[in-house]
Amino acid sequence: MGKRFLFSSDDAAKIGFDKKPRLVKKSLSIRGQDQSRSSPSPVIMASFVKLWCSKHRLIDDLIDATREAEKYRDTEYRAVVVIQSWYRGVRVKALIKHLHQAASIIQRCFRAFRARKTYRIKLKEAVTKMEWKYYYNMATIIQKTWRGYWTRKYEFNYYARKKYLEGLALKNEFVRHRLEEVGRKLKEEVEQNQKNEEQKELYENASRLHYLVSTHQIPGVYNSPFNRYPNQMENHLREVKMASLRSQSYTQKNNLSNGGNIVVLPPLQTTKQQGPFRSPENVVTQRNKEINLSLRAETAYTSADDTRRYMKQLEKRMRIQDKPFQPFSHRTIPYEPTLHGSTSYGRIAYGTDHFRETDHDLDKHDKVLDAALTSLICRNHFK
């Protein structure tokens, strides 16, 4: 490859030039300038003479170098193209890589900025929701406390309820003692009546069985000689008197005269009367049928006034305090009692004072409506 250059290394060493052609041209130009400025030196003159003498050899070398360069021009061109394409590819790849890195950095920064912005918005919303939730919970606690206080104080007063229950317990205890006494008295009366009935029945049986009493000669049925003491029935037979037959017949006559133990005779065998008569059972049923009164007849005349009076009493009795309740938030709104307890209207006058009510103020026309057709024409028309 040394033949491709204008000068060989030996010639360049002899002349005193550098190996690079550009430096030789530069040194020649500098020396030419120096020579133009001053007179040439003997060494330069000798070098120029030697160069002038070897001009034919230099021309041949130049031609050979040109031919050799022309010979390798395509190969070197292709090599240069390959080198340039590789170099440019490396440059383009480096540029693309740099652009990708720059785009990645920009995207990372922008996405981080947008994510921080979205995070701040969501954080603000979450904090707002948390604050509202806290406020709602606190409001619920306040309302719960206030409603509990109001309910305990005005609607379900614990101490008033306790006092009422204590009084009710004392009253129940008193009523229970009274009921126990009444029950004990009633039980004693029932036992006494039962005992009297048994005693009376025993005396009646004893008077009826008085003929079984013992005599001095013959012992009775209830006085066994083998017993140490006589039977209790024997003592009862001795205490009572024998029932007289005259008194029994007299009582039977009195009972018959008063209607007691009357024997009902069978009905007479009579023939059925002719005609469209109903059966006696239906007639008796109709006669004994209860009167089915209407609702107005069953209702009391003063039922409305009594109901209104009762509701007023109930409202007054259930009222906790005489001072009307005023709410804490809407104090301008007055207290509204119940409609039935505060109304000033009485009972409806319809049905008691009058049966027809006319209000001429509601009439649109004072003139009475006249019929356009007579009734006769209407009948003829519809015939």
* Residue 196 phi, psi (nearest 5): -65, -40
Amino acid at 73: R
Sequence-separated (6 or more) residues with CB below 8 Å from residue 300: 306
C-alpha span between 56 and 124 (Å, rounded): 94
| pLDDT, tens only, 229-275 | 777 777 777 777 776 655 555 555 555 555 555 666 776 666 666 66
- The pLDDT assigned to 377 comes to 44
Q: What residue ranges do the domains of the chain occupy?
A: 2-71, 164-255
- Residue 377's alpha-carbon distances to 184, 368, 369, 380, in angstroms, are 90, 21, 18, 5
* Residue 312 phi, psi (nearest 5): -65, -45
- The pLDDT assigned to 134 comes to 96
The vertex-37 CA angle with 34 and 40, nearest 5°, equals 60
**Is 117:283 a contact under the CB 8 Å cutoff?**
no
- The pLDDT assigned to 141 comes to 95
- At residue 228, does pLDDT exceed 80? no
- The neighbouring-strand residues paired with 350 are 354
Q: Lowest mean pLDDT: which of 108-122, 131-145, 268-282, 285-299? A: 268-282
Give the number of other Cβ atoms within 10 Å of residue 234's Cβ: 21
- DSSP conformational letter for 367: S
- Residue 231's alpha-carbon distances to 1, 138, 195, 219, in angstroms, are 175, 93, 20, 12
| pLDDT, tens only, 342-372 | 656 555 566 666 666 666 666 655 665 555 5
C-alpha span between 91 and 17 (Å, rounded): 37
